[in-house]
Chains A and B, each alone.
Chain A
Amino acid sequence: MTSSTPTPYRGEHDGTPLPAGAPNPPSGPDRHTGESLGREAWRRLKQNRAAMLSLILMVILALVCFIGPYLLPWGLDEVDWNSFQTAPSMTDGHYAGTDANGRDLLVRTLFGGQVSLSVALMATFVSLLIGVIYGAVAGYVGGRTDNLMMRFVDIMYSLPFMFLVILLMVVFGRNIFLIYAAIGAVEWLDMARIVRGQTLALKRREFIEAAHALGVSGPTIVRRHLIPNTLGPVIIYVTLTVPKVILLESFLSFLGLGVQEPLTSWGVLISEGKDMMESAPWMLIVPSVFLAVTLFCLNFLGDGLRDALDPKTR
């Protein structure tokens, strides 16, 4: 039997050496076939110091935003009649100063963070979910279906964003979830186009044809072969979407269509701070620092994730 007599494995010596410097991972019983891409990716992400640091920082930031306000003595719309537009100070309890109405800026920034982070997370998630599936299906099925699906995207593009938001407001009334929905409904269009383009290129590759020849069904090909291979550009695009969404939300709020006073967001705080730049610079600096740190972390995390999910960069 083959198991008793050791077969000479020709593999390693069949003429072509592995590319120079190719890693040689251990191939013992500890690495068996079933190891999922997810677990493998997590292992690789942990080795990326910048990405891990960013991830930890993001988690801390989110915790501070969601728990922090309740540990501070000030409320969201509580006016301190003794200090209007005072600079940050350690003695009066306004660690980041107050705004023109005497409200504590740190508390407002943290509450604003709740709104900004959740909008960013939800809207990006919605755009990712719809965009990736829509784009992959359109690209994979092709032909007339692709044509119809992409023309629908074109029509959505041509609708003015404001019109869409106002329409939603009229129908459903003012609601924070509406902002998620409205932003998500616009952002997925770009994602769908990117994924469709990737899919069209991938579809012609032989491994897709091989899957056909194996009798793998269409939905499985999309799920198992197409979507994982579009991840690189998708993740890059997600890291670009998040800041876009945060700014879009502030734009909506600025026009009175987004979050309303006393509730606030980083975008709103920054646009308020911009007007007071000369007399009260901290009103611009404090929320800006929070936003900048978030975006910085997201970029590193995005790069790290892209590398971790690509088996070639081990």
Chain B
Amino acid sequence: MSALLDISHLTVSFDLPTGAVEAVKDVSFQVPAGETVALVGESGSGKSVTSTAIMRLLPDLARIEGEIRFDGQVLNRLSPKAIRRLRGNDIGMIFQEPMTSLNPMHRIGRQIGEVLRRHKGMNGDQARTRVLELLTQVGIPEPERRIQSYPHELSGGQRQRVMIAMALACDPKLLIADEPTTALDVTVQAQILQLLKSLQQRYGMAILFITHDLTLVRHFADRVCVMQHGHLVESGLTREVFDAPQHAYTRMLLAAEPKGRKVPVNEDSPLVLDARDIRVRFTTKRRMFGPDDTFEAVRGISLKVKRGQTVGIVGESGSGKSTLGRALLRLLPSEGTIAFDQQALEGLDQKALRPLRSRLQVVFQDPFGSLSPRMTVGEIISEGLRVHHPELSRRERDARVVEALKDVSLDPAMRARYPHEFSGGQRQRIAIARAVVLKPEFLLLDEPTSALDRSVQVTVVELLRDLQQKYDMTYLFISHDLAVVRAMSDTVLVMKNGEVVESGTTEAIFDHPSMPYTQALIEASFLNRAA
């Protein structure tokens, strides 16, 4: 029996002006009908290129060699017209970013209906009936009303459901899901995966599931193919690969889960930060008369942080965790009292705050957005020194920059380069160096590992732990990633809609969560119990 999708010796190369670059090298695997095959790898491994090659959606300068056989046809030899008939009809596709893969100008009913009209030749009424049916199947509430909605009126999870409805519209034999849940919150992610699984059982379609997240693969896929640098390094049944990984890279990936717990600090360690009843309001609409419309993003949160401690703040997007962090550092105006090292922060203006800034530092989530693209790494790291230690000579400043780069295990010779020359993990190290060069006592880490590959995450977590020990720093660690928070924190705050749902020591929260929301969150993130 032959597989539904049979890829043999696939090589994809891009003809760049600087020479040909091979993104996928001699990859062969099969997707049997009705099964789920996961294609796993870190960024740059060629997994997305493979999936777009199947759909022939690659740019013109890509050259495909080998054979992609789908249901008896060789896809890479079909005419553009023939492949268009297959796309969306026999092969459906879901993309990573539900925000951008729907056209914001059209109602969702029309976008789903377009596929039906095009491939099945349905008229308006037939298409509408089918769209309603699909929306019900993918679990969109009130489909009659939602069919008239524009994409911006839906949440991220709902948009991804619409994308799935669109992909399923013509009963495809194969569904290609390219990181379908990466942009979603964990609880939503679990729902979407559950949905895909039940739809698969109902329609008997095969799923090619592309992801970087191994925990998802374990719970979701029948077979797994591991890719590294364009090569397929290992493939097999999911259970076998996970139980006895053959290739070193697979073993490394499987082991790449932040491990260990933080050593707790002494009971009598002094309070560094004491915040009471913090509230942050945003004005959503100004009125000429009467009070403005406001939205309260943080609703009366108090927290205490002791020296040397790490407090983890967990929550899904929109829970107000980043807003809280920024308010504590007075990067946003807020109500309530904040005492840092027994000094009140709330009354100070920006100028009075300046001397304290060197003691309170921050590392942001996006390593691509947090470094100014027109400054060298040396200039970026030394900027804080220029503000807080103007007495340093150029040479002394340079020496401090070198030291900071060594602290984050980067080659100091790199300081003349610009940020775009570095990988994501390296950039995050630069951002950490920028904060650490000032020897701060308190460091706000706002999702510092979320944009990074798992294996890089592990090294950054280790680095942060080492630096905390070395400089006796106190961390406020904001993340939606429970595995990382568990490895980093002494105590954890779980936030939802601007309020604290539950707080306690890391052990208490992770081993015996008392609130249903916390339980759901932990359940949905498929944590490894053993770690």
Q: How far is the CA of A312 from the CA of B376 in the complex (A)?
A: 11
The stretch that binds B, out of A21-29, A158-166, A292-300, is A21-29
Residue of B nearest to A207 (CB): B372
A33 lies within 8 A of B369 (CB): no
Tell whether A15 is near chain B: CB-to-CB under 8 Å: yes
For the complex, what is the distance from the CA of A15 to the CA of B452, rounded to whole Å?
Answer: 10
Q: Are B382 and A213 interface neighbours, CB within 8 A?
A: no
Contacts A7-B406, A215-B357 hold; do A15 and B416 have CB atoms under 8 A apart? no
Cβ A210 vs Cβ B358 within 8 A: no
Interface of A is mostly: loop
Q: Report B18 CB to chain A, min CB distance, Å.
A: 5
Q: Are B394 and A207 in contact (CB under 8 A)?
A: no
Contacting B371 at CB < 8 Å: which of A10, A207, A224? A207
Task: Tell whether A278 is near chain B: CB-to-CB under 8 Å.
Answer: no
A216 to chain B, nearest CB (A): 6
A90 interface hit (Cβ, 8 Å): no
Q: Please determine whether A311 and B418 come into contact, CB atoms closer than 8 angstroms.
A: yes
Q: Contact: A11 with B417, CB < 8 Å?
A: no
A80 at the interface (CB under 8 A from B): no
Cβ-defined contact, A312 with B420, below 8 A: yes
B444-479: contact bitstring with A at CB < 8 Å (1 yes, 0 no)? Answer: 000000001101100100000000000000000000
B43 within 8 A of A: yes
> Measured between C-beta atoms, what is the minimum distance from A8 to chain B in Å?
7
Chain A 28-85 interface residues, beta-carbon cutoff 8 Å to B: 28, 31-35, 37
The answer for the CA separation of A34 and B376 in the assembled complex, in Å, is 9
Chain B CB within 8 A of A174 CB: no
> A33, B378: Cβ atoms under 8 Å?
yes
Q: Provide the A240-258 mask, 1 if CB < 8 A to any CB of B, else 0.
A: 0000000000000000000
Give the residue name and chain of the B residue nearest to A33 (CB).
B378
The answer to whether the Cβ of A18 comes within 8 Å of any Cβ in the partner chain is: yes
Q: Are B409 and A21 in contact (CB under 8 A)?
A: no
B357 near A11 with CB under 8 A, answer no
Q: Among B358, B364, B429, point to the contact of A11 (Cβ < 8 A).
A: B429
Cβ–Cβ < 8 Å partners of A207 in chain B: 369-372
Pick from B369, B372, B387, B417: contact of A215, CB under 8 Å: B387
Residue interface mask A281-314, B partner, CB < 8 A = 1: 0000000000000000000000000000111100
- With a cutoff of 8 Å between Cβ atoms, the chain B residues found around residue A210 in the complex are 362, 364, 370, 431, 434
Bound CA–CA A312/B456 (angstroms) = 24
Give A206 to B384 CA distance when docked, in angstroms. Answer: 15
Name the interface size band of chain B. 35 or more
- Chain A residues with Cβ under 8 A from B1's Cβ? none
Are B354 and A209 closer than 8 Å at their CB atoms? no
A233 within 8 Å of B by Cβ?
no
Give Cα A2 to B453, complex, Å. Answer: 28
Closest chain A residue to B397 by CB distance?
Answer: A33
User: Can you list 16 residue pairs at the A/B interface with Cβ under 8 Å?
Assistant: A7-B406, A11-B410, A11-B414, A11-B422, A15-B425, A15-B455, A16-B426, A17-B44, A17-B229, A19-B44, A23-B421, A207-B371, A214-B357, A214-B387, A228-B374, A231-B374
Residues of B within 8 A of A (CB): 14, 16, 18-19, 21, 23, 42-44, 229, 326, 329, 331, 353-355, 357-358, 360-362, 364-366, 369-376, 378-379, 382-384, 387-388, 394, 398, 401, 406, 409-411, 413-418, 420-426, 429, 431, 434, 438, 452-453, 455-456, 459
Residues of A within 8 A of B (CB): 2, 7-12, 14-23, 25, 27-28, 31-35, 37, 205-207, 209-217, 224-225, 228-229, 231, 309-312
Nearest 4 A/B pairs, CB to CB: A33-B378, A215-B357, A16-B423, A206-B370
